[in-house]
């Protein structure tokens, strides 16, 4: 497998997970927590998100088979979803596929904020799950290992970001967080467009093959 492809997988998952972008929300939701409590929330959130992404990565192809979903169709659908998330990130807002304003308000009153909304859907949201499943749909063992490895590394980085959220947020502030979110959005938009191109190309090839078979 090419190193460039492995890097693209890592960057795409990192962009949609956006561990730096969730720091402001984590800081706000745990501002009255002790350091130990913040660490517990971070641990629970990362553990839940990691488990969710790995499960979807491993059973994603069976979901395709069960619902009779073709890989090109999923690439296009996933590309559209990712582009909508990226478009929102480009304007400096938290993607709607991650959490709603109501969930943010309610989460402050919950005990298990590490599970929801931090773990799901802040970290492992529909966009992240779709990205992992899109890459894993290739069915290649090498790609599977790269995706799983990328997930583990990114979740490790997410844990580091969350356990140091107060210090990081104090240094970068709201402006810095928005700037990083927009950069991640631009990268993600590029990945989304590539998914759309690949899906359309595969469908076009299938139609052309069927057309040629019908003519012959």
pLDDT tops 90 at residue 16? no
Q: Per-residue pLDDT averaged across 39-53, rounded?
A: 94
Distance CA 58, CA 201 (A): 26
Q: Where are the domains of the chain?
A: 3-215
Task: Report the 10 Å Cβ neighbour count for 93.
Answer: 13
Residue 44 three-state SS: helix
Number of residues that this document lists for the chain: 216
Mean residue pLDDT across the chain: 80
- pTM, 2 dp: 0.69
Asked if residues 21 and 177 have their Cβ atoms less than 8 Å apart, the reply is: yes
Q: How confident is the model over 31-60, as a mean pLDDT?
A: 90
**What is the percentage of the chain residues whose pLDDT exceeds 70?**
83
pLDDT band at 140 (very low <50, low <70, confident <90, very high): confident
Euclidean distance between CA atoms 95 and 100, whole angstroms:
9
pLDDT recorded at residue 112: 73
Mean pLDDT of 107-122: 69
Please give the Cα distance from 39 to 17 (Å, whole number): 19
Nearest to 92 by CA among 177, 192, 19: 177
Q: How confident is the model at residue 109 (pLDDT cuts 50, 70, 90)?
A: very low
Confidence of residue 110 (pLDDT cuts 50, 70, 90): very low
């Amino acid at each position: 497998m090419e190193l460039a492809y492995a890097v693209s997988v890592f960057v795409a998952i990192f962009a949609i997970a956006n561990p730096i972008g969730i720091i402001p929300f984590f800081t706000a939701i745990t501002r009255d927590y002790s350091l130990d409590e913040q660490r517990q929330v971070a641990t629970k959130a990362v553990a839940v998100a990691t488990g969710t992404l790995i499960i979807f990565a491993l059973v994603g192809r069976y979901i395709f088979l069960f619902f009779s979903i073709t890989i090109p169709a999923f690439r296009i659908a996933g590309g559209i979803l990712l582009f909508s998330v990226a478009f929102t990130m480009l304007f400096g807002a938290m993607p709607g596929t991650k959490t709603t304003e109501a969930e943010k308000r309610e989460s402050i009153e919950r005990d298990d904020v590490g599970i929801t909304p931090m773990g799901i859907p802040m970290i492992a949201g529909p966009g992240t799950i779709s990205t992992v499943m899109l890459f894993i749909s290739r069915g290649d063992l090498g790609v599977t290992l790269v995706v799983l490895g990328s997930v583990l590394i990114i979740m490790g980085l997410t844990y580091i970001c969350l356990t140091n959220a107060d210090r990081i947020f104090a240094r970068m502030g709201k402006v810095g967080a928005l700037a990083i979110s927009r950069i991640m959005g631009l990268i993600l938009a590029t990945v989304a467009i590539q998914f759309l191109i690949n899906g359309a190309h595969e469908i076009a090839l299938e139609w052309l093959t069927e057309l040629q078979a019908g003519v012959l």
